[in-house]
Amino acid sequence: DGVKIVSFTRLDKAEEKRYKYLHFTMEDNPSLSERVKERYRRMYEGVFYKRFIEGLWVRAEGIIYTTFANNKEKFLIKHDYTDEEHKQDLWFINCGIDFGNNKSSHTFVATGFTYNFKKVVFLKAVKVSRSLTPKELDNEFKKFVEIIYAKYKKTFNVRCDSAETTLINGFKLACVEKNLFFCDVMNARKSPINERIHLVCRLFGEGRIEIVESECPDLINALETAVWDDKHAGE
């Protein structure tokens, strides 16, 4: 009668619908070398590893960044790339702004990149109350970017959650009024959440993420406890 591909969310009705369940893994593909398979294994973790590497029909629920949650000390660093040993390694910096909703705070994150993108380094992350007025939020933004510039002496881009146009325009105006010539405020390109999670998982798997422990306590907690919920995947 032909073959019908069934989504993950329909698997629980397989017996009722008389679907046939076929289980394949990478090992069933003779065209893949061991080197290629090992590269793919490093690209995924947690439930995504079970799906894409082990070929299991599992719901994408549970801790997302299991590599970090299970061994976070591997990714935490004490220095902040201002010491003599490391400051020459820092290539450039981006600052990301995530505007919170009614239940969460705004978040500012400064991310450094070493030469040739060898490492992605979370340099500083702060949470800012959602209850602030736009003017107060502008002041918090100004304070954050001035701290980053004073510490690292590098110009940088600021990428903002593109949904909040009014607040972004306020940041741009604050930069002009305060002569913050060292940063350029723009909308962020927001790719699908699965792609963003996949990228971070892959970086963790390849050991290419570092987090300045003393400057990112809230970010560390967020990465360690992030949980995927299919019901809210698009939020």
Q: Which residues contact 13 (CB under 8 A, 6 or more apart)?
A: 19
How does the average pLDDT of the chain come out, rounded?
83
| Pairing of the two strands 183-187 and 209-212 | unpaired
Question: Quick check: helix, strand or coil at residue 211?
Answer: strand
Predicted model pTM: 0.74
Identity at 17, one-letter amino acid code: K
pLDDT beneath 70, residues of the chain: 1-15, 17-21, 45-48, 57-61, 102-103, 229-235
Structure tokens at 212: 């300045």
Predicted pLDDT at 60: 54
